[in-house]
Amino acid sequence: MGLLGNVEFNSLNDLFLHQLEDLYDAEQRLTSALPQMAEAATSPQLKQAFHTHLDQTRTHVTRLEQVFHRIGAEPKRETCPAMKGLIKEGQEMIDAKGDSTVRDAALIAAAQRVEHYEMAGYGTVRNFAQHLGMDDVAQLLQKTLDEEGETDKLLTQLAETGINARAHA
């Protein structure tokens, strides 16, 4: 969402649609970044987590398309500068030289930043949908929010049960 652009909001519905477009762009960008993160990871569990989240992210894209259709809008991407920045940070971790276990810890850190951004975005649009009386849409968005939270917990578990300790050794 361009903060300095010429966006105009005259209703909560306008803002809701704009936020959906931003998330749609973010998820599309993430489908391109996750395979690179999986390739860069050395921990088999972390590789699998990235592959699993890639599959989920593709489902999130499809789910957002369902949301667009339910509200009578065509799926459209609004450039998400935040996700572009988060992916750029992730690329720096992918390209980092040095100990591969430390890089795995860095990849988790980058991925969790992405998850937290997505959770904030989905929580917001879910709340907007509820206020707009779109309970079926809110349920779809909640499902994605729950999955993003599960991914964040899995990444924390991977970090805390070995990767961070090995990186510290």
Distance from C-alpha of 169 to C-alpha of 167, rounded to nearest angstrom: 6
Residue 7 lies inside a defined structural domain of this protein: no
Count of CB atoms situated within 10 Å of the CB of 74? 7
Contact 112, 78 (CB under 8 A): no
**Is 142 in contact with 23 (CB distance < 8 Å)?**
no
The number of distinct structural domains making up the chain is 1
Rounded to two decimals, the pTM is: 0.92
Q: How far apart are CA 149 and CA 165, in angstroms?
A: 23
Over the stretch 73-82, which tens digit does the pLDDT of each residue have? 999 999 999 9
Confidence label for 2 from pLDDT (cuts 50, 70 and 90): very low
Q: What is the mean pLDDT of the chain?
A: 94
Task: Look at residue 133 and tell me if it is in a domain.
Answer: yes
Please check whether residue 5 lies inside any domain of the structure: no
Residue 55 resides in a domain: yes
Q: How far, in Å, CA of 129 to CA of 73, rounded? A: 14
Full residue range of the structural domain in which residue 130 is found: 12-168
Q: Is residue 88 part of a domain?
A: yes
Q: In the predicted model, what is the mean pLDDT of residues 154-160?
A: 94
Residue 96: exposed, middle, or buried by beta-carbon count in 10 A (0-12, 13-18, 19+)?
Answer: middle
The answer as to whether 1 is a domain residue is no
Cα Rg, the chain, nearest whole Å: 17
Q: Report if residue 6 sits inside a domain.
A: no
Extract the tokens encoding 103: 């890089």
Residue 101 within a domain: yes
Q: How far is 169 from 46, CA to CA, in rounded Å?
A: 19
Contact of 138 with 129, CB cutoff 8 Å = yes
Q: Which two tokens stand for residue 95?
A: 């390209």
Instruction: Give the percent of the chain with pLDDT over 90.
Output: 88
At 7 the pLDDT is 82
Res. 27 pLDDT band, cuts 50 70 90 = very high
Q: What is the mean pLDDT of residues 4-25?
A: 91
Average pLDDT over residues 41-48: 95
Q: What is the pLDDT of residues 117-155, one digit of tens each?
A: 999 999 999 999 999 999 999 999 999 999 999 999 999
Tokens 């970090």 found at: 159
Residue 88, domain CATH: 1.20.1260.10
pLDDT at 168: 81
pLDDT at residue 5, rounded to an integer? 62
